[in-house]
């Protein structure tokens, strides 16, 4: 079947992201809610992937964004989701261990803030050692990480793979993954326990869930694999140490490729109606194996769920990390067609499902998914950090400069 191949209209997407930049990112007076740092990261990184990143902004604009992010830095390390989530520095003086129950630094916000800074400035204003010390206090006995630590030292937040990935990324950005001296190890998070926590998350069907007792989910699966990658513990050969990250790599690959689903427009209409209860008739086949539609291939996040733009990234990037080479296990053309012809929006950006309006989250992950598959016109992507490889190299330089700066 000869199907014409769509291509990336970079100018259209750059326009979309510049509009987002105008409406989301800061100016002197703007307040912001807790997700603003996250959205800021998506915008800066999307423009970078498209070759219109912060290096093309005016110096003023970059300084503005940098100062805005730094306002969220917590006096005791880490970042808050918003400058409004913290008090002025003076308020922190008399509270014992310096921890404030109301406005503690937040793990995901810290990740997005440091990432954001890497696009617009240097790391020299990050309280690097404080941040790493604080990061260590976020880890629980079982190896998992919380989102915040309260005044009483209680670690709050879930135990799932997202915070593991974010913690591993913060460590990678500020400390790196090289072998340390004993002195350095003392200040480090417990990598072995992190790995065993991630390892315990694999489910019976090969994916990874919130824990092994939950349903496998592509988002958690990606986060688990990225965590291992960022601490250099992704199994790479049969000689890998017994403590390497996944209990069964082939079954994870099997689970990941199973997330692909042929998409036809009728699927959607069916989905909207309530599925009729299936009558249980033993021995009677109620549906048959049929070649799935091959023109468009989307991804779902869990078995038997709908296709959603973002899973093209979570699944594609996870496979990319497990397989080293680019996604040869995936047939790229129908995936591109699904993204370009079904979820891409006329005004630029991508929606969650076919026909949906674009949003920042799905638009970014669609670009990231395409970049993982070597889309012409986009910078190649580093799957574990979810930024361009070029930006990853810049981060390494920033990290080096910052550790020289603090005399380490």
Partner 1 sequence: MAPKGSKAPKARPKPPDPPKEYPTIADELLAAYQESRPYQTLAASKGIQNLTANEKACYAHAVFLETGAWRSWPAATQNEFWKTIQSEKIPIPLPKPQDLGRDTRGIEVGKYTPAEFKLYLRREREIEGLLGKTMGYLRAIMAAKEHSPRVLELTEHIISMNAAHYTVWLYRSQTLLALNSSIPAELEWVNNVALDNQKNYQIWHHRQILVEHLVQDVGSDEGKLRELGKSEVAFMKEMFDEDAKNYHVWSYRQWLVRKLDLWQKGEIEDCERLLREDVRNNSAWAHRFFVVFSNPRYCTEGSKATEFDGGIPDEILDREIEFSKAACFEAPQNQSPWNYLRGVLKKGGRKLVSLECFAGEFVKIPEKEGEGEEDVKSSHALDFLADAWAEKGEREKADRALRLLGDKYDRIRKNYWDWRRALLKSDGGGLGGIEGQFVVGAKLFGH
**One of 46, 249, 317, 366 touching partner 1 (CB under 8 A):** 249
186-205 residues in contact with partner 1 (CB under 8 A) are 199-200, 202-205
Q: The tokens of 96 are what?
A: 């014992």
Q: Of 7, 41, 9, give the one whose Cα is nearest residue 117.
A: 41
Which of 269, 280, 376, 407 is close enough to bind partner 1 by CB under 8 A?
280
What would the two tokens of residue 221 be? 């699966």
Nearest to 373 by CA among 302, 323, 408, 300: 323
Contact 54, 119 (CB under 8 A): yes
How many residues bind to partner 1 according to rule CB under 8 A? 79
**Stretch 214-233 residues interacting with partner 1 (CB under 8 A):** 214-217
User: Rounded to an integer, what distance in angstroms lies between the CA atom of residue 130 and that of residue 186?
Assistant: 14
- Which secondary structure element, helix H or strand E, spans residue 155, and what is its range? strand 155-156
Residues in region 63-122 near partner 1 by CB under 8 A? 101-103
Site string for partner 1, 353-372 (x = CB under 8 A): --------------------
Question: Alpha-carbon distance 108 to 382, whole Å?
Answer: 19
The least distance separating partner 1 from the CB of residue 242, rounded to whole angstroms, comes to 11
d(CA 285, CA 287): 6
Q: Which is nearer to partner 1, 74 or 379 (CB)?
A: 74
Q: Is 346 in the site for partner 1 (CB under 8 A)?
A: no
The DSSP result for 236-262, as a single string, is: -STTS-TTSS-S-HHHHHHHHHTTEEE
- Which residue lies nearer to partner 1 by CB, 244 or 363? 244
CB of 224 to partner 1, least distance (A): 13
List 88, 238, 273, 404, residue binding partner 1 (CB under 8 A): 238
Choosing from 241, 270, 287, 404, the residue that interacts with partner 1 (CB under 8 A) is: 287
Question: What's the min distance (Å) between Cβ of 59 and partner 1?
Answer: 21
Rounded distance between C-alpha atoms, residue 237 and residue 227, angstroms: 18
350, 343 Cβ separation under 8 angstroms: yes
CB of 229 to partner 1, least distance (A): 12
Considering only residues 23 through 62, tell me which ones interact with partner 1, judged by CB under 8 A.
27-33
């Amino acid at each position: 079947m000869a199907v014409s191949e769509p291509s990336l209209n970079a100018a259209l997407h750059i326009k979309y992201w510049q509009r987002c930049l105008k409406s989301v990112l800061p100016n002197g007076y703007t307040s912001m809610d807790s997700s603003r740092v996250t959205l800021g990261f998506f915008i800066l990184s999307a423009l970078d992937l498209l070759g219109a990143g912060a290096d093309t902004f005016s110096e003023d604009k970059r300084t503005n964004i940098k100062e805005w992010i730094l306002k969220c830095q917590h006096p005791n390390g880490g970042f808050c989701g918003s400058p409004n989530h913290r008090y002025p520095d003076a308020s922190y003086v008399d509270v014992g261990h310096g921890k404030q129950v109301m406005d503690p630094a937040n793990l995901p916000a810290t990740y997005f803030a440091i990432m954001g800074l890497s696009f617009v400035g240097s790391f020299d204003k990050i309280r690097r050692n404080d941040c790493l010390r604080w990061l260590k206090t976020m880890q629980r006995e079982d190896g998992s990480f919380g989102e915040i630590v309260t005044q009483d030292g209680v670690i709050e937040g879930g135990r799932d793979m997202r915070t593991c990935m974010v913690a591993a990324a913060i460590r990678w950005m500020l400390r790196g993954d090289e072998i340390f001296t004993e002195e350095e190890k003392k200040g480090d998070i417990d990598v072995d326990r992190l790995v065993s926590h991630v390892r315990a998350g694999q489910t019976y069907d090969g994916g990874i869930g919130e824990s092994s007792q939950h349903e496998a989910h592509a988002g958690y699966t990606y986060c688990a694999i990225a965590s291992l990658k960022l601490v250099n513990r992704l199994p790479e050969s049969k000689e890998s140490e017994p403590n390497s990250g996944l209990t069964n790599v082939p079954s994870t690959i099997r689970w990941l490729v199973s997330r692909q689903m042929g998409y036809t427009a009728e699927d959607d209409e069916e989905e909207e109606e309530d599925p009729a209860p299936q009558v249980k008739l033993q021995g009677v086949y109620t549906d048959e194996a049929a070649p799935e539609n091959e023109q468009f291939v989307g991804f779902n996040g869990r078995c038997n769920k709908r296709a959603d733009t973002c899973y093209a990234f979570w699944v594609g990037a996870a496979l990319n990390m497990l397989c080293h080479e680019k996604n040869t296990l995936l047939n790229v053309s129908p995936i591109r067609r699904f993204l370009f012809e079904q979820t891409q929006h006329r005004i630029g950006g991508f929606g969650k499902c076919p026909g949906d309006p674009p949003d920042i989250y799905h638009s970014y992950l669609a670009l990231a998914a395409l970049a993982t598959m070597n889309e012409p016109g986009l910078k190649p992507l580093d799957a574990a950090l979810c930024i361009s490889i070029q930006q990853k190299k810049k981060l390494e330089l920033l990290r080096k400069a910052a550790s020289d700066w603090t005399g380490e």
